[in-house]
Amino acid sequence: MIEKYRPKWIKLAAAFFCIFLFGTLWYYFMEDGWTLLDALYMVAISVTTVGYSVPHSLSPQGRIFTIILIFMGLGVAAASMAHFTKFLIEGELKGLFRRKKVQNKIKKIRKHYIVCGHGRTGATICLKLFELNIPFVIIDSETEPLNTAEQRGFLAVKGNAGSDMTLLAAGIERAAGLVICCSDDGTSLLIALAGRELNPDIYIISLGSFPTNETRMIRAGANTVVYPLRLGGEQIAQLIAKQCGTTFETGSQLYRPGLFGYDLRLFNHFDEKVSTISEILSKYKALQAVGIKRNSGEIIDDPPLDTEVRKDDSVILLVRDDRNIDVTQPEEGKKIIWSDKYCVGVNAIDDDHRSLVILVNRFNEAFTSGSGKLEIASVFDKLLEYTVNHFQKEENIMKKYNYPEMTQHIQKHRDLTKEVMAFNKGKQYVFPENIAEFLNSWLMNHIMETDKKLGAFLTGTDIH
């Protein structure tokens, strides 16, 4: 925010300096018997219009100059006040309203979980809670994790999780559980103590670093202590067992089991070209369209075969629960080859876009070879990380160079993130090819249209 307004502040300060310098020198040299202090004093009372008496009588030329000086000072002062007011409204007040809106939402939720820390582990937990429709509130003291949470549409409170005020702001007295994701056992112990004191019935889960501290953590109020390194070791062992041909049970399944050999899948239409229900059934080897949800929110049950499906509409399809036939193989021509036409002219942005192309092609190749379903979760993990890191990088560049279409561009980032989050949440229902269409069309259109405009604006700046 400050970087955005700094150039204007510098210009206004320079204008005030020039007025004072020129006015002081004019009075000193053009009026008889004036000292530099007299001249400076005269400029000050003229620009500020306070109305004190003049140090000496003015010549006719001096009175004309004073009139001009007053209007110049009033103009710069008015511009400064308008600029300062705009800064308050767009910065402090906007942030205040946003925080108030978040607090109002937190006050309305019940039986939620409070996640203390939105680092790697905390962010993974929050994504899974989001997928399962379990309400939660994040507490973190760092700006970057909170920005990530805000971009994903999560409720978050900034502050020290060990503080009663912060926990109360997160609604701990109404919460069902407290998840402590801190790397330091001492900090986790203090948070557990505070949480148990504020809500005796709350269920507390704490990450632990050293098993020797587990007894203290439980005495402090934790119900369960989890060790991420131990869980990571178990996952590696499961991977080894799988490679050796040994079967094992896993609690994480990407797809739901079907019923009587049938299953429901979700199709999202991202193409500008209008399709029909009949065309979609044929493309995805589906048996029937159960319902369609329009972009406007209208829901149509059992739509006829000739019903038109437009951009951003969603269709629920009934398919046979056959994991080998429900994917239409992509054509080789769909593979994206990076070329200069995708470049926006900014190395930092173009490097990220190259990584995105690699991600899209990797996904296409994965489900072409038959391993797409196993790859979906991994691809979306990387896509979610991409939407945070890349978008923040672009937004920082836009703020630094005061990009005139910054608000619209950032809103498109938020819309894209929202779509990715929704797609990730329902990934067990969707067709892999539909995800490929989303990656190919939506994101590449964002590069070719929105990011190209940003690149054109940045031409000639010191970022090139």
What are the φ/ψ torsions at residue 327 (nearest 5 degrees)? -120, 125
pLDDT higher than 70, residue 188: yes
pLDDT higher than 50, residue 326: no
pLDDT above 90 as % of the chain: 24
Does residue 40 share a domain with residue 16? Answer: yes
Question: Is 327 part of a structural domain of the chain?
Answer: no
| CATH number of the CATH domain containing 53 | 1.10.287.70
pLDDT tens-digit readout, 229-275 = 777 666 667 667 666 765 554 444 444 456 667 788 888 888 888 99
pLDDT, position 375? 60
Question: Is 134 part of a structural domain of the chain?
Answer: yes
pLDDT interval class at 329 (50, 70, 90): very low
Domain-ending residue, one of 100, 132, 152 = 100
Does residue 190 share a domain with residue 149? Answer: yes
Domain-ending residue, one of 100, 128, 146 = 100
Does residue 286 share a domain with residue 308? Answer: yes
Question: Is 151 part of a structural domain of the chain?
Answer: yes
60-64, 266-270, 288-292, 325-329: which range is least confident on average? 325-329
Q: How does the average pLDDT of the chain come out, rounded?
A: 81
Q: Tell me which residue range forms the domain holding 221.
A: 109-231
pLDDT tens-digit readout, 354-383 = 888 887 787 777 666 665 555 666 677 777
Question: Is 314 part of a structural domain of the chain?
Answer: yes
Does residue 127 share a domain with residue 169? Answer: yes
Q: Classify strands 288-293 and 308-309 as parallel, antiparallel or unpaired.
A: unpaired
**Secondary structure of residue 103 in the 3-state scheme:** helix
| CATH number of the CATH domain containing 408 | 1.20.120.50
pLDDT, position 139? 96
Does residue 343 share a domain with residue 453? Answer: yes
pLDDT higher than 70, residue 325: no
pLDDT interval class at 87 (50, 70, 90): low
Q: What is the mean pLDDT of residues 333-355?
A: 82
Domain-ending residue, one of 320, 354, 388 = 320
Does residue 403 share a domain with residue 369? Answer: yes
Question: Is 242 part of a structural domain of the chain?
Answer: no
Q: What is the mean pLDDT of residues 100-125?
A: 91
Cα 104 to chain centroid distance, Å, stands at 20
Question: Which has more pLDDT, 336 or 328?
Answer: 336
Q: What is the mean pLDDT of residues 168-183?
A: 93
pLDDT, position 459? 82
Directed axis angle between helix 372-400 and helix 2-30, to 10°? 10
Question: Is 194 part of a structural domain of the chain?
Answer: yes
Start-to-end C-alpha separation, the chain: 23
pLDDT higher than 90, residue 331: no
Does residue 184 share a domain with residue 131? Answer: yes
pLDDT tens-digit readout, 4-38 = 556 777 887 888 888 889 889 988 888 888 898 88
Q: How far apart are CA 403 and CA 410, in angstroms?
A: 11
Residue type, 206: S
pLDDT higher than 50, residue 424: yes
State the total domains in the chain: 4
pLDDT above 70 as % of the chain: 82
Question: Is 299 part of a structural domain of the chain?
Answer: yes
Q: Which two tokens stand for residue 347?
A: 């190395």
Question: Is 36 part of a structural domain of the chain?
Answer: yes
pLDDT, position 304? 93
Does residue 452 share a domain with residue 341? Answer: yes
Does residue 345 share a domain with residue 310? Answer: no
Does residue 81 share a domain with residue 22? Answer: yes
pLDDT, position 255? 45
Does residue 452 share a domain with residue 411? Answer: yes
Question: Which has more pLDDT, 280 or 388?
Answer: 280
Does residue 153 share a domain with residue 72? Answer: no
pLDDT, position 299? 92
Q: What is the mean pLDDT of residues 111-115?
A: 95
